[in-house]
């Protein structure tokens, strides 16, 4: 059936249930597999990373499929997707796929096709000069940054996603194109602490954060919100019922108890909290998802706050690079950032990464005690001498 061009297409608003198709679900995956994938489904024997961004999978039958992985901005227009399709039509029999980190993968079944494909991809640039299809993102390097909507589409962000990701990716580009790190290093980004995506379990994570309590729109809150939901939305019990002078139902927020998570605004539009000077970026590190060697780990907060310096976030970029470079220098082969930090101790991590340790990094939420050091096992760093001196332990 052809696409409709009527303003309302096949939909008849007079009879909304007529001809309505529901519960179709997605298309079946088998329809979209290239022949070489169908023919060798479930019979893959091994794979090789031929060079950064290029994989070869060999099946039991000896058949091979070559994959070229390309970076992508995730946000893309139909114009760009049509170009992806043109490439796939020309080189890949009309098939293409996307990865769980939003890279693009083009698959071909011969070495000759591979060379032509690579050459084509590397030659394509946007008018502004950036690569349209940079090849990379494999092996022990830095692949695409999983990220969120930011100012492009969301109502609760404390920062922007696409711009920060572009700024950081530009600076980490050599790691996308190379495989020079001790292990893969996953960077992710979320524009508020709802953490849509992977921020809580990435090697390095960038998180939009507020630092001012919400403003209560008292004249409207009882009209716009279910007040008990807003009260129940607070993880720290900072919100309680209140009344305005004119007798309208409202809420009051204890500023000293609020830690600016924004969840009450999610539930109640009369409690906005975004703020130019207050909002910024928190950096976390040391999380992972795989079960390889060590168990999956949460990321830990290592930089409590940096300003939203649009559009290139130089402070964020600088701190990310400090972590990546210290890790690249210090970690053993196969060690993820979290494995490295735990082996050398977080006190050494802060020293090696040249990051300041502040009170904001000490957990004070519910199970916080488990994260304090209940041991005499520690390493002497400058921070230890400063602490000892302050306590009167040394001159």
Establish if 275 lies at the interface with other proteins (CB under 8 A).
yes
Identity of the residue, 37 or 258, whose beta carbon is nearer to other proteins in the bound complex: 37
Candidate segments 4-12, 241-249, 343-351, 381-389, binder of other proteins by CB under 8 A: 4-12
Please list every residue from 356 through 395 that binds other proteins, using CB under 8 A.
Answer: 365-367
The strand pairing partners of 297, in sequence order, are 288
- Out of 246, 291, 376, 377, the residue judged to bind other proteins by CB under 8 A: 291
Which of 275, 265, 270 has its CA nearest to residue 219?
270
Could you say which of 212, 312, 321, 348 contacts other proteins (CB under 8 A)?
312
* Among 39, 120, 131, 215, interactor with other proteins by CB under 8 A: 131
Q: Which is nearer to other proteins, 97 or 384 (CB)?
A: 97
Task: Name the residue among 109, 76, 115, 79 with its Cα closest to residue 95.
Answer: 109
Residue 122 binds to other proteins (criterion: CB under 8 A): no
65, containing H or E segment: strand 64-70
Segment near other proteins (CB under 8 A); pick from 145-153, 350-358, 374-382, 384-392: 145-153
- Please, which residue, 16 or 392, has the CB nearer to other proteins? 16
Q: How far apart are CA 362 and CA 373, in angstroms?
A: 11
Alpha-carbon dihedral 304, 356, 203, 280, rounded to 10 degrees = 30
Q: Which value, to the nearest 10 degrees, does the dihedral of the CA atoms of residues 370, 374, 379, 381 take?
A: 70
Strand, coil or helix: 267: helix
What is the DSSP secondary-structure string of 216-243?
A: P-HHHHHHH--HHHHHHT-TT--EEEEE
Length of the chain: 395
Binding mask 192-231 for other proteins (x = CB under 8 A): -xxxxxxxxx---------------------------x--
| Sign of the C-alpha dihedral computed for residues 28, 29, 35 and 37 taken in this order | negative
Of 200 and 249, the one with the shorter C-beta distance to other proteins is 200
Kindly write out the interface string for residues 7-46 of this chain, putting x where it contacts other proteins by CB under 8 A and - elsewhere: xxxxx-x--xx-xxxxxxxxxxx-xxxx--x---xx-xxx
Ranges within 58-97 binding other proteins (CB under 8 A): 65, 67, 71-82, 84-85, 88-89, 94-97
CB of 323 to other proteins, least distance (A): 18
CB of 388 to other proteins, least distance (A): 31
Contact 224, 214 (CB under 8 A): no
Mode of pairing for the β-strands spanning 187-190 and 204-209: parallel
**Pick from 110, 115, 116, 126: which binds other proteins (CB under 8 A)?**
126
Task: Dig out the tokens for 98 from the structure.
Answer: 């996307």
Of 134, 137, 214, 338, which lies in the binding site for other proteins, with binding defined by CB under 8 A?
A: 134
In the bound state with other proteins, the residue whose beta carbon lies nearer, of 80 and 322, is: 80
Using CA atoms, how far apart are residues 79 and 96, in angstroms rounded to an integer?
A: 16
Query: Of the candidates 143, 156, 282, 352, which one interacts with other proteins according to CB under 8 A?
Result: 156
What are the angstrom distances between the C-alpha of 373 and each of 296, 339, 350, 352, 370?
21, 18, 16, 20, 8
């Amino acid at each position: 059936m052809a696409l409709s061009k009527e303003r309302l297409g096949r939909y008849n608003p007079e009879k909304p249930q007529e001809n309505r198709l529901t519960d179709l679900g997605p298309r079946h995956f088998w329809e979209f597999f290239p022949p070489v994938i169908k023919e060798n489904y479930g019979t893959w024997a091994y794979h090789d990373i031929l060079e950064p961004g290029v994989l070869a999978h060999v099946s039991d039958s000896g058949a091979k499929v070559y994959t070229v992985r390309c970076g992508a901005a995730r946000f893309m227009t139909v114009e760009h997707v049509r170009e992806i399709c043109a490439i796939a039509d020309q080189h890949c029999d009309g098939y293409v796929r996307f990865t769980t980190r939003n890279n693009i993968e083009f698959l071909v079944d011969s070495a000759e096709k591979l060379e032509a494909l690579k050459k084509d991809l590397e030659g394509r640039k946007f008018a502004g000069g950036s690569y349209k299809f940079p090849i990379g993102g494999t092996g022990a390097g830095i692949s695409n940054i999983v990220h969120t909507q930011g100012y492009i589409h969301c109502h609760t962000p404390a920062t922007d996603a696409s711009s920060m990701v572009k700024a950081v990716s530009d600076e980490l580009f050599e790691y996308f194109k190379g495989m020079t790190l001790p292990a893969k290093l996953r960077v992710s980004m979320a524009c508020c602490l709802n953490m849509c995506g992977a921020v809580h379990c990435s090697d390095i994570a960038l998180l939009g954060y507020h630092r001012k309590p919400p403003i209560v729109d008292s004249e409207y809150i009882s009209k716009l919100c279910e007040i008990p939901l807003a009260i129940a939305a607070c993880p720290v019990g900072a919100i309680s019922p209140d009344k305005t002078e004119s007798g309208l139902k409202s809420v009051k927020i204890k500023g000293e108890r609020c830690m600016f998570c924004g969840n009450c605004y999610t539930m109640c539009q009369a409690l906005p909290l975004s703020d130019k000077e207050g909002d910024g970026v928190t950096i976390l590190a040391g999380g992972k998802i795989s079960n390889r060697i060590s168990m999956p780990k949460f990321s830990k907060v290592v930089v409590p706050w940096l300003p939203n310096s649009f559009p290139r976030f130089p402070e964020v970029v600088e701190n990310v690079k400090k972590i990546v470079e210290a890790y690249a220098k210090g970690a053993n082969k196969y060690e993820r950032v979290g494995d490295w930090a735990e082996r050398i101790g977080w006190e050494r991590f802060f020293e090696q990464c040249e990051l300041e340790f502040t009170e904001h990094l000490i957990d004070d939420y519910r199970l916080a005690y488990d994260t304090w050091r209940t041991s005499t096992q520690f390493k002497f760093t400058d921070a230890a001498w400063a602490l000892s001196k302050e306590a009167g332990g040394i001159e």
